[in-house]
Amino acid sequence: MQILDGKQTSSTIQDEIAAEVAAIRSAGGKIPHLAAILVGNNPASEAYVRNKVKDCERVGFGSSLFRFDETISEEALLDKIREVNENAEIDGLIVQLPLPAHISAEKVTETLAPEKDVDGFHPVNVGRMAKNLPAYLPATPYGILELLKRYPIETSGKHCVVLGRSHIVGSPMSILMARNDNPGNCTVTLCHSRTKDLKAQTLQADILIAALGIPEFVKADMVKEGAVVIDVGITRVEDASKKSGFALRGDVAYDEVAPRCSWITPVPGGVGPMTRAALLLNTLDAAKRSFYP
Ligand SMILES: Nc1nc(=O)c2c([nH]1)NC[C@@H]1CN(c3ccc(C(=O)N[C@@H](CCC(=O)O)C(=O)O)cc3)C=[N+]21
């Protein structure tokens, strides 16, 4: 069993991005600038957004963080997004999810200009992705593709089983693994809460991508010997022995599953850091006007 080291790989990608930013700087080009909107004070969201600002500093991007109380009205939030759309300094914006119940995430997503939608959540980017046109890819699937690409893993002709049909991970992941590209060219099965005899499906997987958000759901008897296992889960569970008071759990029962795998991502240090690296790659493309010239 070998580890797909997301932490190391994301660090390599950050170095590559930093070199490109230095080149942009010498050429007098636009320095990439990522903005984030954080509504409320969910501790997990706070931590992710803090990390994103740190990542920007490390690669030489500019960054802005706009914080709002959870009582902000939907209209006020949409106005802020319209303001960002008009701000030429800001290349990309993410609105950290989840949002309070009185705010429509769909309205927020559709108000942001597609060319600044570095999360890849706008219908225009989703549609372009599905048609294999140049577009921002959602950060978690994009990060997983980069991770697979940078290890000696053949995906062509393999059976990929995706667990979870969310619009931010499972659904786009299934599209991207099926497309004619590398990584890609898989036969894909997308499983969800209504799937019957899930184990019969997962046992077919050469590549198993778990993105259902249920801690340690995938057990050893669900995994084929020699499979590549990608664990997208990151649930916080209380753990008094940790300084932070919590531990992170993946969707895979790592200790029992890992010995069966050819490759596996750890949690933490797997998909999470790759998600952040992918967001930086999208922001670089935003500043370069790669997809919306
Ligand atoms: N608009 C939006 N875009 C997102 O991309 C988005 C979002 N909202 N809401 C929440 C989820 C979750 N997410 C993570 C990113 C990095 C780590 C990450 O870096 N995890 C580290 C550990 C970090 C820690 O210790 O807390 C790791 O797995 O090693 C985790 C989770 C992005 N999300």
Cα of 200 vs centre of ligand 1, distance in Å, is 31
Q: Provide the pLDDT confidence category of residue 27 given band limits of 50, 70 and 90.
A: very high
Q: Which amino acid is at 204?
A: Q
Pairing outcome for strands 187-191 and 92-95: unpaired
Q: What is the mean pLDDT of residues 18-37?
A: 98
| Topology, domain 28-113 | Rossmann fold (3.40.50)
The whole-number pLDDT of residue 82 equals 98
Contact 1 CB / ligand 1 (< 6 Å): no
Q: What is the mean pLDDT of residues 262-275?
A: 98
Cα of 274 vs centre of ligand 1, distance in Å, is 9
> What stretches of the chain show up as alpha helix (H) in DSSP?
6-26, 43-59, 74-86, 105-111, 123-130, 139-149, 170-178, 198-202, 254-257, 271-287
Q: Which amino acid is at 187?
A: T
Q: Provide the pLDDT confidence category of residue 32 given band limits of 50, 70 and 90.
A: very high
179-223 per-position pLDDT tens digit: 999 999 999 999 999 999 999 999 999 999 999 999 999 999 999
Q: Which ligand 1 atom is at minimum distance from the Cα of 119?
A: 3
Contact 249, 233 (CB under 8 A): yes
Mutation choice for ligand 1 from 45, 65, 275, 282, CB with most ligand atoms inside 8 A: 275
Q: Provide the pLDDT confidence category of residue 6 given band limits of 50, 70 and 90.
A: very high
Is residue 206 flagged as an active site residue? Answer: no
Do 28-113 and 139-272 agree at the fold level? Answer: yes
Nearest-CA residue for atom 2 of ligand 1:
96
Q: Provide the pLDDT confidence category of residue 3 given band limits of 50, 70 and 90.
A: very high
Domain residue spans of the chain: 28-113, 139-272
Is residue 8 flagged as an active site residue? Answer: no
Nearest-CA residue for atom 1 of ligand 1:
96
So what's the ipTM on this one? 0.97
The whole-number pLDDT of residue 9 equals 98
Contact 105, 115 (CB under 8 A): no
Cα of 267 vs centre of ligand 1, distance in Å, is 12
List, as residue ranges, the binding site for NADP(+): 164-166, 234
Tell me what the pLDDT averaged over the chain comes to: 97
Pairing outcome for strands 159-163 and 92-95: unpaired
Q: For residue 176, count other CB atoms closer than 10 A to its CB.
A: 24
Cα of 27 vs centre of ligand 1, distance in Å, is 33
Superfamily of domain 139-272: NAD(P)-binding Rossmann-like Domain (3.40.50.720)
Contact 142 CB / ligand 1 (< 6 Å): no
Contact 140, 176 (CB under 8 A): no
Nearest-CA residue for atom 25 of ligand 1:
268
Contact 96 CB / ligand 1 (< 6 Å): yes
Contact 47 CB / ligand 1 (< 6 Å): yes
Distant-in-sequence, close-in-space partners of 97: CB < 8 Å, separation ≥ 6: 45, 105, 168
pLDDT above 70: percentage of residues in the chain: 100
Distance CA 67, CA 164 (A): 30
Q: Provide the pLDDT confidence category of residue 88 given band limits of 50, 70 and 90.
A: very high
Contact 229 CB / ligand 1 (< 6 Å): no
56-82 per-position pLDDT tens digit: 999 999 999 999 999 999 999 999 999
The whole-number pLDDT of residue 173 equals 98
Token pair, residue 241, equals 């022995």
Contact 195, 212 (CB under 8 A): no
The whole-number pLDDT of residue 271 equals 98
